[in-house]
Amino acid sequence: MRYGLELAPWGPYADPLALARLARTAEAAGWDGFFLWDSMLHDPDDLPKADPWVSLAAVALATERLRLGPMVTPLPRRRPWKLAREAVTLDHLSAGRLILGVGLGDPSKEEFAWFGEQGADHRTRARMLDEGLAILDGLWRGQPFSFQGEFYRLREMTFLPRPVQTPRIPIWVGGWWPNPAPMRRAARWDGVHPGRLGGPLTPDDVRALVAYVAEHRTTQEPFDVAVGGTTLSDDWNAARDHVAACATAGATWWIEPCGVGGRLDPMDRIEARVRRGPPRP
């Protein structure tokens, strides 16, 4: 089991330098990953926001060991070739520590419709996401590649340099369990970062999700299951027991949200949680 942090780069953390300092603190405290929300507008308080990709570059330069990445990037509102270039650059900058989280993007109104973006409905965004993933994979191979799809068309081209990581930058797909479509999509890539409407995933949820993904995997390559929840609890032992039960059920990462999923936590509360370190057994 590895342990990561998930933050929204909003409010006091709309400063890339503050995020870089917090990432350094996280690395010293024993965390394994540092991930940022990629949200254009949505939050409950209309707070200032930092661009997550510029912020992740600052995090990469401030750390040596942490895995890092957006969690998750709404690929349907990105041009896949632009994202491919940014991801490769960040992979080189971090010496191969990038994990690319992707998803449909939510909520539809604030993240798409208000900007006049196409794909305000989920079905359209799902098809755009699948095409975008195929393009990322093709461009990262560093070989002549072309693509003809419903939304994107690329003439033959070669993207260089290739990522540091092989066979590619790991791709984790976000989605809501037990919705089967994002889990089937995730099974085609390198990992899943699931949520559950109405509350955190239970160990039984994790066990069922792992079994479902295994049914749809066509490769024996390693696959990450990155579940999460808060261990900000008066009962630290009970929190660690829950994390351990998720690991036994098949989770490979525990992602701790700090300042996301509601109104932003105060900075001192977030920093105290980071300094306390991961909920290892």
Query: What's the rounded Cα separation, in Å, for the pair 93 and 58?
Result: 10
Which long-range contacts (C-beta less than 8 Å, at least 24 apart) are formed by 45-51?
45/11, 45/263, 45/264, 47/10, 47/11, 47/14, 47/264, 48/10, 48/11, 48/14, 49/9, 49/10, 49/14, 50/9, 50/10, 50/13, 50/14, 50/15, 50/16, 50/19, 51/9
- pLDDT tens across 57-87, in order? 999 999 999 999 999 999 998 999 999 999 9
Summarised one tens digit per residue, pLDDT across range 105-145 is 876 666 766 677 766 688 999 999 999 999 999 999 999 99
Of the listed ranges 19-28, 103-112, 148-157, the least confidently predicted one is 103-112
State the sign of the Cα–Cα–Cα–Cα dihedral 109, 115, 120, 126. Answer: negative
Q: What is the pLDDT of residue 146?
A: 98
The two structure tokens encoding residue 149: 């799809």
In the chain, which residue ranges form alpha helices assigned H by DSSP? 16-28, 52-62, 80-93, 108-111, 122-140, 180-187, 203-216, 236-249, 267-276
pLDDT of residue 262: 46
Give Cα separations from 261 to 6, 12, 82, 99, 250 (angstroms): 10, 16, 28, 21, 24
Q: How confident is the model at residue 44 (pLDDT cuts 50, 70, 90)?
A: low
The yes-or-no verdict on residue 236 having pLDDT over 70 is: yes
**Res. 100: pLDDT tops 60:** yes
| Residue 275 pLDDT grade (very low, low, confident, very high; cuts 50, 70, 90) | very high
Amino acid at site 213: V
Q: What was the pLDDT predicted at 84? A: 98
pLDDT at 102: 98
Residues 160-217 pLDDT 10s: 999 999 999 999 999 999 999 999 999 999 999 999 988 889 999 999 999 999 999 9
Residue 43 has pLDDT above 80, yes or no: no
Q: How far from 229 is each of 134, 236, 260, 266, CA to CA, in Å?
A: 31, 13, 11, 18
Mean pLDDT, residues 87-116: 86
